[in-house]
Amino acid sequence: MSSMKRREFILALGGAVASPLAARAQQTPPMIGFLGPASASAMSAWTAAFVQRLRELGWIEGRTIRIEYRWGDGRADRLPEIAAEFVRLKVDVIVTTGTPVTVLKEATSNIPIVFTIANDPVGGGLVGSLSRPGGNVTGLSQLAADLGGKRLELLREVTLGLEVVNSEIRRSEEVTPAIESLKGRADAIYVQADPLMNTNRVRISTLALGARLPTLGGIREYVEAGGLMSYGPNFPDLFRRAAEYVDKILRGAKPSDLPVEQPTRFDLVVNLTTAKVLGLKVPEAFLVRADEVIE
What is the residue-wise DSSP string for the chain?
A: --HHHHHHHHHHHHHHHHHHHHHHHHSPPPEEEEEESS-TTTTHHHHHHHHHHHHHTT--BTTTBEEEEEE-TT-GGGHHHHHHHHHHHT-SEEEE-STHHHHHHHH-SSS-EEEEEES-TTTTTS-S-SS---SSEEEEE--HHHHHHHHHHHHHHHS---S-------SGGGHHHHHHHHTTT-S-EE---SHHHHHTHHHHHHHHHHTT--EEESSHHHHHTT-SEEEEE-HHHHHHHHHHHHHHHHTT--GGGS--B----EEEEEEHHHHHHHT----HHHHHH-SEEE-
Residues of the chain with pLDDT under 50: 1-26
Distance CA 116, CA 100 (A): 11
The answer to whether domain 26-142+234-264 and domain 145-233+267-294 are alike in fold is: yes
- The domain locations on the chain are 26-142+234-264, 145-233+267-294
Q: Which CATH architecture has domain 145-233+267-294?
A: 3-Layer(aba) Sandwich (3.40)
Read off the pTM: 0.81
pLDDT, position 181: 78
Report the CATH fold assignment for 26-142+234-264: Rossmann fold (3.40.50)
Q: Provide φ and ψ at 71, rounded to 5°.
A: -120, 130
pLDDT, position 166: 64
